[in-house]
Amino acid sequence: MEQWFPKIPIADWVDTFVNWLTVHLAVAFDGITTFLQSIVDGMVIGFGYIPSYIFMILLTLLAWKVSNKGIALFTLIGLFLIANLGYWEPMLETLALVLTAVIISIVLGIPLGIWASQKQMVKQIASPILDFMQTMPAFVYLIPAIFFFNIGVVPGVVASVIFAMPPTIRLTILGIQQVPADIIEATEAFGSTTIQRLLKVQLPLAMPTIMAGINQSIMLALSMVVIASMVGAPGLGADVYRAVTQIQIGKGFEAGLSIVVIAIILDRVTQNIGKNNKQGGNAL
């Protein structure tokens, strides 16, 4: 094969491109690194200030308020288990990593989704990029991320954002576009501007779908914590990774179990926020 058609040097191109970026955008990357690092650090420090039992109670109350007694009970027991196993600190670090990644996904993803929902062209360009972001093995993002953002939690956050953002964008587009055509027609007929239509009609009606997207983003970000630990992100992922490299089955299971507990709490709570919105809109 190679004798008829030389190998296309994609690897070389990518290397050259990444090198070029590293050199020329160093200042920008440094800025982003500092920014992300301070958000994550701020969260970890902030969470750390709260005594663990108060933190447990607060989360339990939150779970009770947005969903039901069962979830609240699970939250309480689950968090107690994590503290008991000695994974409280790593859990807070993981939470900070995931929340940072999700907040950035929301801040970037929702406006992008809105934009793409209004302009067919943007949507057509965005779709393949989103496919790429989600299907490219997440490990691959880590390599350039180390170049740009050094070792530590920041490349982990960046890789998590890239992997976790697509559902928020996609479901924002979907939510807005699935608002029935006759309702859009009615808002047009009464002389709404584009902004009015968006804020008064499309976004409120798309909210449950957008919340489902955010929920998925949270889950995907959580699924990235072990991978992020490979570039030095601290937290439960690091414990799992360490257990894997040292073949400590029991420890690995404990850390993994803690991740599962956090995942279930975050999933149920955010899922119910979405549902509550739906009911709030239609019920008494």
Interacting residues toward another protein by CB under 8 A: 180, 182-183, 185-193, 196, 200-201, 204-205, 281-284
Q: Three-state SS for 75? A: helix
Q: Encode burial over 183-213: b for 16+ CB neighbours within 10 A, e otherwise.
A: ebeebeeeebeeeebbeebbbebbbbbbbbb
Beta carbon of residue 197, minimum distance to another protein (angstroms, whole number): 9
Distances, alpha carbon 258 to alpha carbons 46, 80, 81, in Å = 21, 10, 8
Q: In the complex with another protein, which residue's Cβ is closer, 62 or 205?
A: 205
- Taking the complex as a whole, the smallest distance from the CB of residue 218 to another protein amounts, in Å, to 24
- The residue behind tokens 């779709």 is 127
Residue closer to another protein (CB basis): 189 or 247: 189
Calpha distance 129→134 (Å, rounded): 9
Of residues 1 and 189, the one with the C-beta less far from another protein: 189
Sign of CA dihedral 156, 216, 130, 176: negative
Number of H helices, E strands in the chain: 14, 0
- Residue number with CB closer to another protein (111 or 280): 280
Min. distance of Cβ 183 from another protein in angstroms? Answer: 5
CB of 214 to another protein, least distance (A): 19
Output the six-digit token pair for 74.
Answer: 């699970």
- Shortest gap between Cβ of 195 and another protein (angstroms)? 10
The label of the residue with tokens 């939690």 reads 153
- C-alpha neighbours within 13 Å on the C-beta side of residue 99: 17
The CB-of-174 to another protein minimum distance in angstroms stands at 17
Given the complex with another protein, which of 195 and 247 has the nearer CB atom? Answer: 195
Between 70 and 280, CB nearer to another protein? 280
d(CA 43, CA 22): 28
For residue 281, how many C-alpha atoms fall within 13 Å in the half-sphere facing its CB?
13
Tokens of 117: 């929902």
CB of residue 186 to another protein, shortest distance in Å: 4
Question: How far apart are CB 190 and another protein at their closest, in Å?
Answer: 4
CB-based contact 262:274 (threshold 8 Å) = no
Buried b (16+ CB within 10 A) or exposed e, 143-165: ebbbebbeebbbbbbbbbbbbbb
Between 12 and 185, name the residue whose CB sits nearer to another protein. Answer: 185
The smaller minimum CB distance to another protein, of residues 81 and 207, is found at 207
